[in-house]
């Protein structure tokens, strides 16, 4: 049970620090955006930062760190697997460009 | 009544097998829902990416002011609401009823504020001529479709979350809900925050002029 | 009951297999039609390989099941069950090995066949033909004397006046001599490069005798190349549900000798 | 959990007891009932389709009254044929194959098999059924709207399904309702899956470790995990489709389409995007249909073989492997769809790999039949029949998994035969086995074995007569989804279709024997004892039917593996899971 | 002679139609005849390739069928143009006779079917295969029905005046028109481009000629009595 064995968070002070960190990452994202990188590079940066942010949120805010490891090991690989498999659609997205019907 | 109540309150207490994760069913179900919902959001974001790759005439209309500034404000509000949610969970766990209620209300209010800012943002876009099927800049019409459907889906989650938080806050004060329910609501609320961490960079920042 | 099950199952298995083997019944041919393309024999070969391998699996496993059920039917009361020789482990290992080898071979060889049809570019001397599918007919366009296709304009499509492709002969000289016909006429033994596109919903280009199949996706121009090796008249059918007239959506492929083809093309140019 | 805590004593009012009941057993029966309504409807639709395929100019008396536009002069129009086909597919896949073996039997028996008094979230469970029911009503409403029922198949490929009325009849309100119905259905399945997962993991009684769960429980659990992630993709896909249809977006509709001489306003979407999203759900859905049937059959077989199955752990691993692989193979539905041909190879290999766990499972069943003394009942016959049709359906997968062969066989009757055997008939056989096996527990009455056996023989031989010839038709290049075979190439094959039609009519008619048996046994059948099959799992440790809280206030304790047959126990040649005796492993 | 009685008769007619809507004999009156012609080079009509439907291809094997957007006759005349009273109409009688629209040899017979508002017409499939009839109205309600061979005729009517193109999706070359008019004073030009509108009561009319490719042209005509007026419509044609 939760109250018994796990989810004893480290206290609000720590969470405030995490919150400040997350806001900093958002700041970095905005700064990177306005350095006008090529879209592909920007995407890589933003995605990396977003995953970092999301990871922090899952880990600390959603208390996954304070649950049994089994929970994280069940949920995250499943999600990662599904998202990885979805990546198989990209080659067809590029087909939309290279094989577009030239009418109008 | 008997067994169910025993499971509910004192856990498995020797009558049931231990849950492999050692968490209440509600929390487990919420985690599963979060994963499922994450897949839903991924599907929509993948669809957005797919169409964006396939559209050579994609529009990038956003400027620092007002859109991104507003977006930073919304991010700040939503992140802060996560913080108040954490405070609510802490308070509830410690049994501080009124503090818990207060923090829950604060979270719901911040959520409502987020939704309001979002709607203002939508209103501005609609005034500029953006529609689900229309691009006032003449580029790909998918911009409006993707923007409104992704942020709309997120907004729906926020509004649903605000309602749920309000119900739980009142219910908690009256004794209908316990600390676990608050924690479960917290997981959902943080998830809504987490989704925004992808929506903001992918839908807003990637579309800056 | 067990005996009946065993017998019925074995009869079903044998009859099903027999129809595969003797697939010609009083003019009803239940087998692939003649192969008229350069790559078709490889598809057929791959299909036969799979047929032998999986047919063996089918017959063996059904007969095994039927036999075991037959045996199990009149055992005495208080029978102590016997364990399959070796138990589960050899079964699992043999399944992994046998089926594994089977599918490895199939996927290696099969993928090669696939890659050679769909992942190779068309030969440079291939005859380009433009194919447009629409509800519920195919139209084919040859470049005409200038060797150039006219540009397509969706808003100019007007089927009632015969402008199926949306050509603009008023402003586009290249479009004036384009030959538009309702049958695909090609010379034999010459590579053909089709460019498939659709004006409305998804259709499909399927010629059984050519062993070729490709969906025609609106918004995309999909290349498809093949070489026909036999003269004759074959059906081109749509296999992707496209609306009420789906079952009547077809065209004919006429494979002619090079001389006949040249004459035909000249006639068409003159007629249009 | 909190919600379960709100549950009180057994309700007494009719509505709370039988309609809006939170009792998982009532909900399970409701799902099964809904499934039976859907399957009868779907079967009648298939009869009409088959009649039309055999004799395309046949006037079917009364059809014009049913649909004046669909059958002028009682002769079916092609659009009506396609509508029937679409509704048949949708009803069968969603409301029968997903509802009955998974939601229906799962709801009824999963809590009992793990020794729980109810599902983890009884009220959510009730909601999930009524949401499903709403989806059903919305789908049926599509028959009666202007423009007619949808006709773009259960796959609803865009842009045909997305552009609206211009694309022909059936693309108006009917198609919108279809998409809406499926979206609603997704929500119901998500709720159901959450419930199943939580119940399996959290509400197991003392001693019911994961390893001691019956195969059926495992299958329902794995299926709910698949469903949780698969329906989550279909839901937004349907919402985007509805937006395309009603709000003018162009997610799935490319630009420059001219449909019925009208230039469409949409631009820039991609039909392949719909196919990807749909099949990303669609292939796991196939396993959502078949895995519970595999689980049910594996659960029932040992009781009649009077022995445990070979390699129980291996079998469960196979189920899990199939579930895992189901997410890696959706592209094999799209080999010739205009997808990048490289991807075809990428999808082909895992598809072929699926045959390994499937073969292992089949061999384990066959090997378990070896050397057993089978008790031939309707349930065991349907289990044996299941193995046979599963083999027949699985074998044709070897062909369709290879893009090079799919080049010829795609969208022919070979595909129809394949999926009807492996997911339609096999899952239906699992359902029949389940009903013959569990009806005594569910209603407290035994079913009539003689009628059941007649039903089995007609069904078993019948499905082979219907679906085996479809393989031959497919090899001959007979394209599916055709309303009639008019052209020179296909016309000679019509006699085969007529044979199939006659077989389908007879086999379908035989199903009414089953329905009669079901209704008759419900009221007139001999009373069932607590454990009529001398089976071991927990559902047989309570009365038939079980009381409101499943075990009458007892908290069971599990001491044994689930399938201890063929051993010496106090009760005979088997040892119940709840029995505390020590058993020598054999 | 007859003119003397005309006005009283007309009054009686008006009253009787208003009160009892009894069947009325066609009023005697003036006639407009004439021709529809063109100047310039009209587009060349294309031969229709019906290879998709072997039945029809066989039927037309000897003499190929051409598209019918611009059907010309001797002396630069145009067939299938509709001439009708577009303004000043009087004395129209409601159309009650059921018209017939046939599908034969993968062609519409007639190519242009003119009818009055609320006039019933039947659509017949004389071919041994399926057709679907898909009129594409903008004001009137749209429908799209298929007609398998051997099924009874489809009955239909329109309640608002409109020029409606008709197509068959199964045979995309099939193309026809439903011309729904507010008046019973209309005519379709024949193969020599001639038309004749009879029974016009004296008065001032605007006559409009419509041709599917070239659009419309209007002329004013005044009918004084039982006379016959001759007018010619001339369209300007372009080759593409």
Residues C137 and C20 in one domain: no
Per-residue confidence band for B12, with pLDDT thresholds at 50, 70 and 90: very low
CATH number of the domain that residue B136 is part of: 1.20.120.80
Residues D255 and D300 in one domain: no
| Whether D58 contacts chain E with CB within 8 A | no
Tell me whether residue B163 is in a domain: yes
pLDDT (mean) for D347-362: 94
pTM: 0.94
Whether residue D407 and residue C117 make contact (CB cut-off 8 A), yes or no, is yes
Cβ contacts (< 8 Å) between D72 and chain E: which residues? 145, 147-148, 151-152, 154
Helix axes A12-33, A39-56, angle to 10 degrees: 170
Interface confidence (ipTM) of the complex = 0.92
Per-residue confidence band for E64, with pLDDT thresholds at 50, 70 and 90: confident
Residues D127 and D261 in one domain: yes
Q: What is the DSSP string of B78-133?
A: HHHHHHHHHHHHHHHHTT-HHHHHHHHHHHHHHHHHHHHHHHHHHHHHHHTT-BTT
Last residue of a domain, one of D475, D506, D524: D524
Residues D175 and D315 in one domain: no
- Chain C, chain E: beta-carbon pairs less than 8 Å apart: 66
Number of structural domains found in chain D = 2
Residues D369 and D450 in one domain: yes
Residues 6+ apart with CB under 8 A from E76: E37, E38, E39
Tell me whether residue D565 is in a domain: no
Residues D248 and D327 in one domain: no
CATH number of the domain that residue C131 is part of: 2.60.40.420
Whether residue E146 and residue D75 make contact (CB cut-off 8 A), yes or no, is no
Which tokens in the block code for residue D164?
């609206």
Q: Using one digit for the tens of pLDDT, what is the confidence trace for C21-54?
A: 999 988 889 999 999 999 999 999 999 999 999 9
CATH number of the domain that residue D31 is part of: 1.20.210.10
Asked whether at least 3 C-beta pairs link A and E within 8 Å, the reply is no
Tell me whether residue B132 is in a domain: yes
Residues C108 and C213 in one domain: no
| Whether C216 contacts chain A with CB within 8 A | no
Question: Where exactly are the structural domains of chain A?
Answer: 2-98
Distance of CA D478 to the CA centre of its chain: 26
Confirm if C246 and C200 have CB atoms less than 8 A apart.
no
Per-residue confidence band for A7, with pLDDT thresholds at 50, 70 and 90: very low
Per-residue confidence band for D8, with pLDDT thresholds at 50, 70 and 90: low
Cβ contacts (< 8 Å) between A103 and chain C: which residues? 151-154, 166
Number of structural domains found in chain C = 2
Which residue in chain D is spatially nearest to A97 when comparing CA positions? D268
- Pick D327's closest partner by Cβ from A81, A92, A103: A81
Tell me whether residue D558 is in a domain: no
Last residue of a domain, one of D508, D524, D540: D524
pLDDT at position D17 is 84
Residues C152 and C49 in one domain: no
Whether residue D69 and residue E145 make contact (CB cut-off 8 A), yes or no, is yes
Please give the residue range of the domain that contains residue D242.
Answer: 16-269
Chain B segment 16-55 residues within 8 A of A by beta carbon are 20-24, 27, 31-32, 34-35, 38-39, 42-43, 46, 49-51, 53-55
Residues D229 and D352 in one domain: no
- Pick C244's closest partner by Cβ from D78, D369, D476: D78
Cβ contacts (< 8 Å) between A43 and chain B: which residues? 206
| Whether C40 contacts chain E with CB within 8 A | no
Distance of CA D140 to the CA centre of its chain: 18
| Whether A74 contacts chain B with CB within 8 A | yes
Element (H, E) at E32: strand E30-40
Q: Using one digit for the tens of pLDDT, what is the confidence trace for D402-451?
A: 999 999 999 999 999 999 999 999 999 999 999 999 999 999 999 999 99
Angle at D426 between CA D274 and CA D460, to 5 degrees: 140
Residues D346 and D494 in one domain: yes
Confidence check: pLDDT of B111 > 60? yes
Residues D510 and D463 in one domain: yes
Q: Using one digit for the tens of pLDDT, what is the confidence trace for D227-250?
A: 999 999 999 999 999 999 999 999
Residues D234 and D367 in one domain: no
Whether residue D277 and residue B43 make contact (CB cut-off 8 A), yes or no, is yes
Residues C86 and C148 in one domain: no
Whether residue B145 and residue D197 make contact (CB cut-off 8 A), yes or no, is no
Which residue in chain C is spatially nearest to D372 when comparing CA positions? C81
Residues 6+ apart with CB under 8 A from D515: D36, D40
Per-residue confidence band for B13, with pLDDT thresholds at 50, 70 and 90: low
Per-residue confidence band for E23, with pLDDT thresholds at 50, 70 and 90: very low
Q: In what order do the strands lie in the sheet with C179-181?
A: C179-181, C137-142, C127-134, C191-198, C222-227
Tell me whether residue B166 is in a domain: yes
- Pick D367's closest partner by Cβ from C91, C96, C217: C91
Subunit partners of chain A (3 or more CB pairs within 8 A): B, C, D
Pairing of β E121-125 and β E99-104: parallel
Whether residue D229 and residue A82 make contact (CB cut-off 8 A), yes or no, is yes
Cβ contacts (< 8 Å) between A96 and chain C: which residues? 219-220
Share of chain D above pLDDT 70, in %: 98
Please give the residue range of the domain that contains residue C234.
Answer: 127-271
Residues C146 and C253 in one domain: yes
Which residue in chain B is spatially nearest to A43 when comparing CA positions? B206
Share of chain B above pLDDT 70, in %: 93
Which has the minimum average pLDDT: B200-209, D5-14, D363-372, E46-55? D5-14
Cβ contacts (< 8 Å) between B54 and chain D: which residues? 268, 270
Confirm if D127 and D151 have CB atoms less than 8 A apart.
no
Q: In what order do the strands lie in the sheet with E154-156?
A: E107-109, E99-104, E121-125, E154-156
The nearest CA of chain D is from the CA of E151 a distance in Å of 6
Residues D319 and D355 in one domain: yes
Last residue of a domain, one of D467, D502, D524: D524
The nearest CA of chain B is from the CA of D129 a distance in Å of 18
Per-residue confidence band for E168, with pLDDT thresholds at 50, 70 and 90: very high
Number of structural domains found in chain B = 1
Residue D472 phi/psi, 5-degree rounding, is: -65, -40
Which residue in chain D is spatially nearest to B145 when comparing CA positions? D249
pLDDT at position C272 is 75
Tell me whether residue B203 is in a domain: yes
Confidence check: pLDDT of B66 > 60? yes
Quick one: CA torsion of E153, E154, E158, E161, rounded to 10 degrees? -60
Q: What is the DSSP string of B58-69?
A: ----B-IIIIIH
pLDDT at position B171 is 94
The nearest CA of chain A is from the CA of C52 a distance in Å of 33
Cβ contacts (< 8 Å) between C222 and chain A: which residues? 99
Confidence check: pLDDT of E20 > 80? no
Please give the residue range of the domain that contains residue B40.
Answer: 24-54+63-207
- Chain D, chain E: beta-carbon pairs less than 8 Å apart: 47
Cβ contacts (< 8 Å) between D485 and chain C: which residues? 247
Cβ contacts (< 8 Å) between E132 and chain C: which residues? 244-245
Cβ contacts (< 8 Å) between E169 and chain D: which residues? 168, 260
Query: Distance between CA atoms of D325 and D286, rounded to whole angstroms?
Result: 12
Query: Distance between CA atoms of C194 and C202, rounded to whole angstroms?
Result: 17
The nearest CA of chain B is from the CA of A54 a distance in Å of 5
Confidence check: pLDDT of E22 > 70? no
- Pick B20's closest partner by Cβ from A26, A63, A70: A70
Q: Which among B197, B199, B200, B202 is the top mutation candidate for probing chain A, defined by the most A β-carbons within 10 Å of its own β-carbon?
A: B197
Query: Distance between CA atoms of D86 and D46, rounded to whole angstroms?
Result: 10
| Alpha-carbon distances of D534 from B36, D303, D431, D556, rounded to whole Å | 40, 7, 20, 18
Cβ contacts (< 8 Å) between C202 and chain D: which residues? 157, 159-160, 271, 337
Cβ contacts (< 8 Å) between B43 and chain D: which residues? 232-233, 236-237, 277, 280
Subunit partners of chain D (3 or more CB pairs within 8 A): A, B, C, E
Element (H, E) at C251: strand C250-256
Residues D446 and D498 in one domain: yes
Confirm if E36 and E80 have CB atoms less than 8 A apart.
no
Whether residue A101 and residue D256 make contact (CB cut-off 8 A), yes or no, is yes
Cβ contacts (< 8 Å) between D488 and chain E: which residues? 54
Q: Using one digit for the tens of pLDDT, what is the confidence trace for D481-492?
A: 999 998 889 999
Whether residue D327 and residue A85 make contact (CB cut-off 8 A), yes or no, is yes
Confirm if B15 and D206 have CB atoms less than 8 A apart.
yes
SS3 state of residue D166:
helix
Whether residue D331 and residue A88 make contact (CB cut-off 8 A), yes or no, is yes
Confidence check: pLDDT of D468 > 90? yes
Which residue in chain B is spatially nearest to D194 when comparing CA positions? B29
| Whether C267 contacts chain E with CB within 8 A | no
Residues C89 and C203 in one domain: no
What letter does residue E149 receive in the DSSP assignment? T
Which tokens in the block code for residue C31?
């087998």
Confidence check: pLDDT of D4 > 60? no
Subunit partners of chain C (3 or more CB pairs within 8 A): A, D, E
């Amino acid at each position: 049970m939760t109250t018994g064995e796990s989810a004893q968070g480290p206290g609000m002070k720590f969470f405030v620090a995490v919150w400040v960190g997350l806001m900093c990452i958002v700041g970095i994202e905005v700064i990177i955006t306005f350095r006008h990188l090529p879209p592909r590079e920007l995407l890589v940066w933003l995605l990396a930062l977003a995953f970092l942010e999301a990871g922090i949120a899952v880990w600390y805010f959603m208390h996954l760190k304070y649950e049994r490891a089994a929970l994280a090991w069940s949920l995250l690989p499943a999600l990662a697997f599904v998202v990885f498999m979805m990546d198989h659609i990209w080659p067809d997205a590029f087909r939309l460009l290279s094989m577009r019907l030239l009418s109008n | 009544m008997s067994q169910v109540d025993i499971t509910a309150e004192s856990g498995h207490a020797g009558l049931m097998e231990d849950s492999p994760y050692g968490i209440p069913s509600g929390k487990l179900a919420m985690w599963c829902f979060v994963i499922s919902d994450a897949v839903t959001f991924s599907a929509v974001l993948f669809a957005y990416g797919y169409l964006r790759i396939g559209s050579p005439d994609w529009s990038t209309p956003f400027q620092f002011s007002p859109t991104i500034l507003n977006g930073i404000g919304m991010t700040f509000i939503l992140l802060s609401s996560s913080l108040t949610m954490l405070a609510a969970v802490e308070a509830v766990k410690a049994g501080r009823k009124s503090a818990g209620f207060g923090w829950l209300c604060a979270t719901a209010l911040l959520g409502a504020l987020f939704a309001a800012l979002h709607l203002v943002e939508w209103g501005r876009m609609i005034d500029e001529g953006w529609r689900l099927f229309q691009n006032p800049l003449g580029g790909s019409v998918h911009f409006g479709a993707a923007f409104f459907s992704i942020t709309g889906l997120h907004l729906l989650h926020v509004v649903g979350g605000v309602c749920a938080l309000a119900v739980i806050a009142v219910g908690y004060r009256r004794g209908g809900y316990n600390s676990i329910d608050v924690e479960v609501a917290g997981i959902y609320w943080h998830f809504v925050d987490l989704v925004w961490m992808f929506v903001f960079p992918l839908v807003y920042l990637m579309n800056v002029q | 009951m067990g005996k009946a099950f065993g017998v019925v199952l074995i009869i079903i298995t044998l009859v099903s297999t027999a129809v595969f083997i003797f697939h010609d019944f009083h003019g009803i041919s239940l087998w692939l039609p003649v192969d008229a393309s350069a790559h078709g024999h490889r598809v057929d070969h791959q299909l036969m390989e799979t047929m032998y391998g999986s047919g063996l699996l089918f017959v063996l496993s059904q007969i095994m099941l039927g036999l075991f059920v037959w045996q199990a039917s009149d055992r005495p009361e208080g029978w102590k069950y016997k364990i399959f020789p070796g138990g589960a482990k050899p079964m699992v290992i043999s399944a992994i090995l046998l089926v594994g080898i089977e599918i490895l071979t199939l996927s290696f060889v099969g993928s090669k066949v696939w890659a050679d049809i769909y992942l190779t570019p068309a030969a440079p001397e291939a005859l380009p033909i433009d194919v447009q599918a629409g509800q519920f007919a195919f139209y084919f366009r040859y470049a005409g004397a200038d060797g150039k296709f006219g540009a397509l304009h969706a808003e100019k499509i007007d089927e009632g006046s015969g402008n199926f492709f949306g050509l603009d002969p008023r402003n586009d000289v290249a479009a004036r001599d384009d030959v538009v016909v309702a049958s695909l006429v090609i010379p034999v033994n010459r590579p053909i490069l089709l460019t498939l596109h659709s004006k409305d919903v998804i259709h499909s280009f399927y010629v059984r005798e050519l062993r070729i199949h490709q969906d025609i996706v609106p918004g995309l121009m999909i290349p498809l190349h093949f070489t026909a090796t036999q003269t004759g008249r074959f059906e081109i059918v749509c296999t992707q549900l496209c609306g009420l007239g789906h079952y009547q959506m077809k065209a004919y492929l006429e494979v002619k000798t090079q001389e006949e083809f040249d004459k035909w093309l000249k006639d068409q140019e003159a007629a249009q | 959990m909190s919600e379960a805590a709100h549950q009180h004593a057994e309700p007494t009012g009719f509505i709370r007891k039988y309609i809006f009941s939170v009792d998982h057993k009532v909900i399970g029966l409701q799902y099964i009932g809904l499934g039976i309504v859907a399957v009868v409807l779907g079967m009648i639709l298939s009869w009409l389709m088959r009649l039309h395929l055999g004799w395309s100019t046949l006037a079917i008396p009364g059809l014009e009254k049913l649909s004046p536009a669909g059958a002028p002069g009682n002769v079916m129009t092609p659009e009506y044929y396609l509508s029937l086909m679409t509704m048949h597919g949708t009803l069968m896949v969603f409301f029968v194959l997903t509802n009955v073996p998974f939601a229906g039997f799962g709801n009824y028996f999963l809590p009992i098999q793990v020794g729980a008094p109810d599902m983890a979230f009884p009220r959510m469970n009730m909601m999930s059924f009524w949401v499903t029911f709403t989806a059903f009503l919305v789908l049926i409403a599509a028959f009666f709207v202007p423009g007619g029922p949808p006709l773009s198949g259960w796959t609803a490929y865009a842009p045909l399904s997305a552009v609206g009325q211009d694309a022909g009849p059936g693309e108006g309100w009917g198609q919108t309702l279809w998409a809406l119905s499926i979206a609603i259905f997704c929500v119901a399945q998500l709720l159901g899956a959450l419930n199943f997962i939580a119940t399996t993991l959290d509400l197991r009684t003392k001693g019911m470790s994961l390893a001691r769960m019956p195969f059926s429980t495992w299958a329902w659990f794995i299926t709910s995990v698949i469903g949780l992630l698969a329906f989550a993709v279909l839901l937004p896909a349907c919402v985007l489709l509805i937006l395309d249809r009603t709000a003018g977006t162009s997610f799935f509709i490319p630009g420059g389409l001219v449909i019925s001489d009208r230039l469409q306003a949409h631009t820039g979407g991609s039909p392949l995007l719909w196919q990807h999203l749909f099949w990303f759900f669609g292939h796991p859905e196939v396993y959502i249909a078949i895995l519970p049937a595999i689980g049910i059959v594996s659960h029932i077989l040992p009781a009649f073989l009077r022995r445990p199955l070979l390699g129980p752990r291996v079998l469960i691993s196979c189920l899990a492997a199939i579930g895992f692989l189901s997410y890696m193979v959706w592209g094999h539905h799209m080999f010739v769809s205009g997808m990048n041909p490289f991807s075809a190879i990428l999808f082909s290999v895992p598809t072929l790999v699926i045959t390994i766990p499937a073969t292992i499972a089949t061999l384990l069943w066959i090997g378990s039949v070896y050397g057993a003394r089978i008790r031939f009942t309707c349930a065991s016959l349907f289990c044996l029949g299941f193995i046979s049709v599963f083999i027949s359906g699985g074998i044709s997968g070897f062909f369709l998994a290879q893009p090079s062969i799919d080049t010829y066989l795609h969208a022919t009757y070979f595909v129809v035969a394949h999926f009807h055997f492996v997911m339609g008939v096999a899952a239906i056989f699992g359902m029949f086995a389940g009903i013959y096996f569990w009806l005594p527990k569910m209603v407290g009455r035994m079913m009539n074995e003689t009628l059941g056996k007649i039903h089995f023989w007609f069904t078993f031989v019948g499905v082979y007569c219907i679906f085996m010839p479809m393989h031959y038709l497919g090899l001959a290049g007979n394209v599916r989804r055709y309303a009639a075979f008019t052209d020179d190439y296909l016309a000679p094959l019509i006699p085969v279709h007529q044979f199939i039609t006659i077989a389908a009519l007879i086999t379908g008619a035989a199903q009414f024997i089953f329905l009669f048996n079901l209704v008759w046994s419900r009221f007139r059948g001999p009373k069932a004892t607590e454990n009529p099959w001398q089976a071991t799992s927990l559902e047989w440790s309570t009365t038939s039917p079980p009381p409101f809280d499943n075990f009458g206030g007892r908290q069971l304790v599990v001491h044994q593996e689930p399938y201890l047959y063929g051993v010496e126990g106090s009760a005979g040649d088997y040892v119940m899971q709840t029995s505390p005796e020590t058993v020598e492993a054999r | 002679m007859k003119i003397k009685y005309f006005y009283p008769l007309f009054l009686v007619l008006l009253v009787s139609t208003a009160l009892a809507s009894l069947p009325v004999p066609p009023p005697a009156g003036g006639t407009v005849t004439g021709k529809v012609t063109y100047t310039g080079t009209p587009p060349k009509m294309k031969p229709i390739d019906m290879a998709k439907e072997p039945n029809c291809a066989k039927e037309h094997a000897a003499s190929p069928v051409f598209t019918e957007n611009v059907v010309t006759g001797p002396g630069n005349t145009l067939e299938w143009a509709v001439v009708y009273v577009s303004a000043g109409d009087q004395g129209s009688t409601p159309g009650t006779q059921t018209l017939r629209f046939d599908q034969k040899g993968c062609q519409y017979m007639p190519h242009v079917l003119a009818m009055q508002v609320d006039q019933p017409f039947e659509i017949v499939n004389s071919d041994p295969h399926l057709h679907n009839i898909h009129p594409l109205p903008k004001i009137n309600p749209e429908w799209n029905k298929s007609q398998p061979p051997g099924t009874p005729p489809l009955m239909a009517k329109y309640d608002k005046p409109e020029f409606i193109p008709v197509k068959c999706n199964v045979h995309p070359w099939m193309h026809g028109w439903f011309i729904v008019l507010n008046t019973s004073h209309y005519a379709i030009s024949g193969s020599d481009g001639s038309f004749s509108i009879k029974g016009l009561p004296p008065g001032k009319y605007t006559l409009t000629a419509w041709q599917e490719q070239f659009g419309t042209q209007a002329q004013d005509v005044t009918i004084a009595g039982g006379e016959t007026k001759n007018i010619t419509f001339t369209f300007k044609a372009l080759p593409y």
